[in-house]
Amino acid sequence: MRRFVFVLAIGLLAGCAPLQNGTAMTTVIPAPVARVDGDGSFALAADTTIGGEPAVARYLAGALRTATGFALPVGDHGDIELAIGSAPAVGGYSLTVTPDAIRLEADDAAGLFAGVQTLLQLEHDGTVPSVAIEDYPRFEYRGAMLDVARHFFTVEQVERYIDDIAILKFNYLHLHLTDDQGWRLAIDSWPGLTGVGASTQVGGGGFAGPLYYSKDDYRAIVAYAASRYITVVPEIDMPGHTNAAIAAYPELGDAPATPYEGIDVGFSSLAIGSETTYRFVDDVVREVAALTPGPYIHLGGDESHSTTDTDFLAFIKRATEIASHNGKTIIGWHEMGRSTQLPPGTIGQYWSFTTPQEGAAEQTLSFVEQGGKVIMSPADVAYLDMKYDANSPLGLVWANGPTPLPEAYEWDPAAIIPGIGDIQLLGVEAPIWTETIATTDDLESMAFPRIAATAEIAWSPAGPRSFAEFAPRLAAFGKRLDAAGIRFYRAPEVTWLD
């Protein structure tokens, strides 16, 4: 039935033709599932009306007003109609543009919001080319991660990053809230976590104001994300990466700790044999879960190099049991898959390389064997804090050296671990760690344009993917980034437009 409607819609477009690369200014990233271009275009004018689903209509009106300067009144119905109806598939939308009208249809507001991002990329100089698009995501989970522990980012900075990723149809923001260098979320039952525990960041303080989120701050981030149809995934990393917590509460560790401003990993561990540790886990996860409308809580589990194997397994069993009583699905970095006693359905996040390092594939498969799915974040292609090349002023190189833009594009999440294909994958995530990244400019110039590559891998149908095909579309997308004021690295592999 949907297919038939789509064919009808295409039939209404005179002289339809398949997408040509020459229509560079109106290409869309992530590439839609199906697009057929028509003749003519819809011209926006001061009295063009926008109607339908009110929240998304207001967002669209705001964005188009900025782009065109037109008033674009919002009402119950409009020349641009955002209709709740049916979608071609879960999370998707259909978009039909003719010279007379624009109609976007999806089965919920999130689907309309995704379609609006497509529409905004199609708009150029106040016109939208005639087109029929049917589109839906390959993966349900399309994530970006921000490390606010190594360097702290304010509510306003996080909200800006939320806006940045929303244009690429990301629907999850994973916040890495705790690490050796700082604990960034107020926990009422353990107030010292954001006292001593939040007193430093990499390189020291260097920041006016508290280096953590109050609960109201955090609620504001969650609400802002929700207004962009993005769900926040909080991460409390345990049992390693806990120096800040132990500096605040020495009883949480086997040895005292002091606030840490460096970038080493693997030197801290919670005290595995102490009941205080499990009271801490219970309190923290309960309070974080209460702040979390989304389905997931991330408990870390990576790089616990100062925890013995026996202790690690004992800790993961108890901590995940405690956490699962809060009604959330747990996510862990792939090392958590060393445990065969995870709560059923626990999600594994893979951060080894596109060629798995020893043990990583088995540990990731362990989540699937225990009824869970996998989020792919291969560090050598998906970590946005790797240098672009040896001369990049920011970034690190531990993940198999720099990650040039083409490498960030030409990989497939279903081709990394035998036995983990689309069915076993929840999705894809692009993390950005902030050892070297301290400002919004730093963040945007490391994330963009590589995050556009990850977005397409997460949303668009599986390859074959060629950077040569992607590059001209990215050049056009660069104009969008300029218009949005997003600072991006003009990677030399792309002929950027002036």
Closer CB to ligand ACM, 287 or 380, in the complex: 380
Length of the chain: 498
List the interface residues with ligand ACM, window 289-308 (CB under 6 A): 302-303
Cβ(202)–Cβ(151) below 8 Å: yes
What's the helix, strand, coil split of the chain in %, to 5?
A: 35, 20, 45
Cβ(242)–Cβ(236) below 8 Å: no
- Residue 101: CB minimum distance to ligand ACM, A: 47
- Residue 43: CB minimum distance to ligand ACM, A: 49
**Coil, strand or helix: which one is 405?**
helix
- Residue 351: CB minimum distance to ligand ACM, A: 4
* Residues 6 or more apart whose Cβ sits within 8 Å of residue 315: 238, 239, 270, 272, 277, 307
- Residue 333: CB minimum distance to ligand ACM, A: 5
Instruction: Count interface residues toward ligand ACM (CB under 6 A).
Output: 4
Query: From CA 371, how far away is CA 380, in angstroms rounded?
Result: 27
φ/ψ region of 448 (left if φ > 0, alpha if ψ in -120 to 50, else beta) reads beta
List the interface residues with ligand ACM, window 394-423 (CB under 6 A): none
Bridge partners (DSSP) of residue 184 are: none
- Residue 399: CB minimum distance to ligand ACM, A: 8
Closer CB to ligand ACM, 212 or 351, in the complex: 351
Catalytic site includes residue 275 = no
Burial class (CB within 10 angstroms; exposed 0-12, middle 13-18, buried 19+) of 266: middle
Token look-up 């692009």 returns 430
Query: From CA 330, how far away is CA 342, in angstroms rounded?
Result: 9
Catalytic residue from among 303, 321, 362, 410: 303
Closer CB to ligand ACM, 44 or 149, in the complex: 149
DSSP 213: B
The closest of 360, 178, 205 to 270, measured between CA atoms, is 178
Closer CB to ligand ACM, 261 or 303, in the complex: 303
- Residue 338: CB minimum distance to ligand ACM, A: 14
- Residue 490: CB minimum distance to ligand ACM, A: 27
Closer CB to ligand ACM, 352 or 392, in the complex: 352
List the interface residues with ligand ACM, window 323-382 (CB under 6 A): 333, 351
Closer CB to ligand ACM, 351 or 489, in the complex: 351
* Residues 6 or more apart whose Cβ sits within 8 Å of residue 275: none
Give the nearest residue (CB) to ligand ACM.
Answer: 302
Report whether the peptide linkage leading into residue 18 is cis, meaning its omega lies within 30 degrees of zero: no
The number of beta carbons lying within 10 Å of the beta carbon of residue 259 is 19
Structure tokens, 260: 């840490």
Query: From CA 496, how far away is CA 478, in angstroms rounded?
Result: 7
- Ramachandran angles phi, psi of 364, nearest 5°: -75, -40
Closer CB to ligand ACM, 161 or 333, in the complex: 333
Element at 397 (helix H, strand E): none
Q: Which active-site residues does the annotation give?
A: 303
Binding site for ligand ACM (CB under 6 A): 302-303, 333, 351
